[in-house]
C-alpha cells in the first residue's frame, strides 16, 4: 500500500499499468478516438492508454492537453487513472471537465519518488478516493 502525496482528482479505479518513460502531451500526442500514443517521438509511440492506469512523470506541453484528455474520457478510451511524479494542473482541468460534463471520474494522484518507481514497474494498480494506491493482485 502507498499513500499519494497529493490527490489532485479523487476517485476509484483499477487496471493494468501503462508506464511512460517520458512526459506526454495529450495535444498531438494521444489519438482522441483510439486512446493510443501517436507522438512519433515518444518512446511509447503506439501504446494504448485506454482503460489503463497511466503512470508517467508529468504531463507536457500546451493547455490544450486538457481538452484532449476530456475528449478521450468522453469517448471511453481514456486512462482509468493517472499516477504522476509531478503535479500537472492541465491534466487536472481535463479530468475535472470530463467529470462535470460526462460524469466519468479519472482519479489523478501524485506519489513520492520511491512509490512512483514501484508503480511504474507494477502490472496492475488500484487507486482509491483517499489517495491510497495498491499493487493489485
C-alpha cell at 69: 484528455
Active-site annotation holder among 62, 63, 64, 121: 62
CA 116 to chain centre: 13
Output the pTM of the full model: 0.96
CB 69 within 8 Å of CB 54: no
For 83-122, the pLDDT digits (tens) are 999 999 999 999 999 999 999 999 999 999 999 999 999 9
Question: Is 62 marked active-site?
Answer: yes
- What is the rounded average pLDDT of the residues 12-41? 96
Name all domains of the chain by residue range, CATH numbers in brackets: 2-135 (3.50.30.10)
pLDDT of residue 1: 86
- 137: pLDDT strictly greater than 90: no
Could you read off the pLDDT of 7-19 as tens digits, one per residue?
999 999 999 999 9
CA distance 103 to 27: 22
Amino acid at each position: 500500500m502507498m499513500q499519494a502525496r497529493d490527490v489532485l482528482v479523487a476517485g476509484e479505479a483499477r487496471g493494468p499499468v501503462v508506464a511512460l518513460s517520458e512526459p506526454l502531451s495529450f495535444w498531438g500526442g494521444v489519438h482522441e478516438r483510439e486512446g493510443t500514443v501517436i507522438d512519433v517521438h515518444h518512446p511509447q509511440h503506439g501504446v494504448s492508454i485506454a482503460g489503463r492506469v497511466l503512470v508517467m512523470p508529468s504531463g507536457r506541453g500546451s493547455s490544450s492537453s486538457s481538452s484532449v484528455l476530456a475528449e478521450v474520457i468522453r469517448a471511453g478510451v481514456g486512462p482509468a487513472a493517472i499516477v504522476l511524479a509531478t503535479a500537472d494542473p492541465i491534466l487536472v482541468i481535463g479530468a475535472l471537465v470530463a467529470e462535470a460534463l460526462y460524469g466519468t471520474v479519472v482519479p489523478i494522484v501524485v506519489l513520492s519518488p520511491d512509490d512512483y518507481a514501484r508503480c511504474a514497474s507494477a502490472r496492475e494498480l488500484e487507486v482509491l478516493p483517499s489517495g491510497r494506491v495498491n499493487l493489485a493482485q
